[in-house]
A and B are shown apart, each in its own frame.
Chain A
Amino acid sequence: MHADWQTYRQLFVAGFRRQTAYRLAMFAGLATNVVFGFIRSAILFAAVESAGGELAGYSAGTISAYVWLSQGLLGAIQLTGAAEIGDRIRTGDVAIDFTRPVDVQTWHLAEDLGRAAYSMIPRGVPSVVVGALTFGLVMPATVLPYVLGAVSIVIGVAISFYCRYAINIVGFWLLDTRGVRSLYMVTSTFLAGLYVPVALFPDWLHTLAYLTPFPSILQSPIDVVSGQVTGLDAVGVVGMQVFWLAVTCLVGRVLTTAGRHKLVVQGG
């Protein structure tokens, strides 16, 4: 029943290759990221300056790193709530998917990781470069944050995928998941720390945010890569991410099993 590692590796490559067909879309995404990055940098620079040069542990240089890393990761983490599985449930194609000798959730994960990996080339890296050239940013000078950061980013992308998968699986019960998806997009972007870093939140909102998997998708990888948290603290942050990875994966699996029982295949 379960496919081997090779199959998932090929699905990963397929997900990567598929994106190479949409170069213009990637460029458009980059341009959008950059414009929003400019506006957000201006706001947060002014905020740091107004606070006297230091704001919730950020300096002008590190808050700039936060802005441009988050703009760069936006393409990879996809907070929009859309996932292909949603379309396949709506059209009924999912019935065929269940008969294939692969695990449906892991299959879509492999493809999504491929998609995310590709987006780092035309969107991720250029965003950070533009930020460095225009507003300037401060990044760690040692290797360790980048190594741990890379792990953290991959986990973040996977958590984001598992969340979107779970949201879309709800389509087994709801005819139209558009409403649920838009609610998800609004909450997740805010609590993931896309508009303002979670460290700036008031205590109650800060606590609330960390009770959800959302900071693990964006804020945590950025904290680790940019060296905002280091040493054992950084390992702790990644540990927290692993916890949310397990939780969101499990929720998706339980929902898939339940949805599968509800699925009625008509005709043949």
Chain B
Amino acid sequence: MMADVLEVATGARPGGWAAPYKAVLASRIRAQRAYPAGFALDIVGSWLVGLTEFGELFVIFHNIGILGGLDFHAMLLLFGLSNLSWSIADMVVGHVDTLPTYVRAGTLDAFFLRPQPVLAQLVTSEFSLRRLARLTVGLVTMCVGLVINDVTWSVAVVGLLVLAIVFGTAIFAACFVAAASLQFFLINGAELTNTFTYGGSYASAQPAAIFPTPLKLVFGFLVPVAFTSYLPTLWILGLPGPSLLPTWLVWLLPVAAAWSWAMALLLWSWGCRHYQGGGG
């Protein structure tokens, strides 16, 4: 025990830098299996959320054939990609929105004393398996979308899919971190941060062609969620993009992700500096 403490203190950690994160995450996963009934209900609940979002799409396309240049089949791919990336991000970092609870209780101070970055501790403070339910909704819809559309398979298509899922997840994760950063300032205004997370997810699942110019600028460039699913869908299906969002932009996905993270980390460090501590 003493040796462990010393090793942590001197920075020489057994099993490399990732070992403490692994140990923490494993314990979080074990904890969730302790209450199987609550866990099952949670799974059903998250699955239903995905289902109602799909229901909205279904109802709209029950009435019309084409929305913003995309038909129902293309929308399945768009919806699937958006849901998949968002739910991975939600599973990995979604719980950073518990920050105000720690701030209010004054327990955040302890996070600053431990030898891990505060953000990393928050991220590993939970790993919710129930969010896997949402992930399956996204994965299944995306696969159906890929099969049902006439996709000309090539290395580039597979490469783009991987790119979209990896960097799309990164963009959504950045939204979560940016939202959490604002919580340092808005203890009672937690709802505002939903605009970044749920609003971003909602906007990303729409064909951006339907947005008026200001919204295109916001969701295309400021909070670039159009990169996560809309642009990849256009490219995979060989469709032209609307004004401001040409299809070739999709290859700038890594740039969009880097921009999102730069903004998120800036907001985070700003928030951390603003934090005054709970005293005691």
Contacts and interface: CB of A to CB of B under 8 A. Distances in A.
B242 to A, nearest CB: 11
B10 interface: no
B189 interface: yes
Contacts of A189: 52
A60 to B, nearest CB: 13
B42 A25 contact: no
Contact of B44 (A183, A195, A196): A183
Contacts of B64: 47, 50-51, 55
Interface stretch (B14-22, B166-174, B209-217): B209-217
Interface stretch (A3-11, A30-38, A246-254, A260-268): A30-38
B66 interface: yes
Given A39-B203, A42-B211, A56-B63, A195 B192 contact: no
Given A35-B199, A36-B199, A39-B199, A179 B45 contact: yes
Contact of B191 (A32, A50, A176): A32
Interface stretch (B54-62, B116-124, B226-234, B250-258): B54-62
A45 B68 CA distance: 10
B186 interface: yes
Contacts of A28: 186, 188-193
Contact of B49 (A38, A56, A176, A186): A186
Contact of B45 (A32, A186, A196, A205): A186
A27 interface: yes
B235 interface: no
Contacts of A35: 195, 199
Given A28-B191, A196-B56, A50 B65 contact: yes
A29 B64 CA distance: 32
A42 B208 CA distance: 9
Contact of A46 (B45, B68, B194, B199): B68
B111 interface: no
A59 to B, nearest CB: 14
Nearest to A198: B59
Main secondary structure of the interface of B (DSSP, over half): helix
Given A32-B199, A36-B199, A42-B206, A186 B48 contact: yes
Interface in B104-137: none
A237 to B, nearest CB: 21
Interface string A47-67: 100110001100000000000
A200 interface: yes
A173 interface: no
Interface string A157-197: 00000000000000000001011101100110110000110
A24 B192 CA distance: 10
A173 to B, nearest CB: 14
Given A28-B191, A39-B199, A51-B64, A176 B215 contact: no
B244 to A, nearest CB: 14
Contacts, number: 106
A202 interface: yes
A46 B209 CA distance: 9
Nearest to A31: B192
Contacts of B25: none
Contacts of A45: 210
Contacts of B59: 195-196, 200-202, 205
B38 interface: yes
B38 A43 contact: no
Given A36-B202, A43-B67, A195 B186 contact: no
B24 interface: no
A64 B30 CA distance: 48
Contacts of A200: 59-60, 62-63
Most buried by B among A28, A180, A202: A28
A50 B66 contact: yes
A25 B191 contact: yes
Given A45-B210, A190-B55, A183 B203 contact: no
Nearest to B190: A28
B12 interface: no
Contacts of B209: 46
B280 to A, nearest CB: 25
25 contacts: A24-B188, A25-B188, A25-B190, A28-B189, A29-B192, A31-B195, A32-B192, A32-B194, A36-B195, A39-B215, A42-B210, A42-B215, A43-B60, A47-B67, A50-B67, A55-B64, A56-B63, A179-B38, A179-B41, A183-B41, A187-B52, A189-B52, A190-B56, A195-B52, A200-B59
Interface of B: 38, 41-42, 44-45, 48-49, 52-53, 55-56, 59-60, 62-68, 186, 188-195, 199, 202-203, 206-207, 209-212, 215
In the A-B complex, the 9 residue pairs with the smallest Cβ-Cβ separation, listed nearest first, are A179-B41, A28-B189, A28-B192, A46-B210, A195-B56, A182-B45, A35-B195, A50-B64, A190-B52
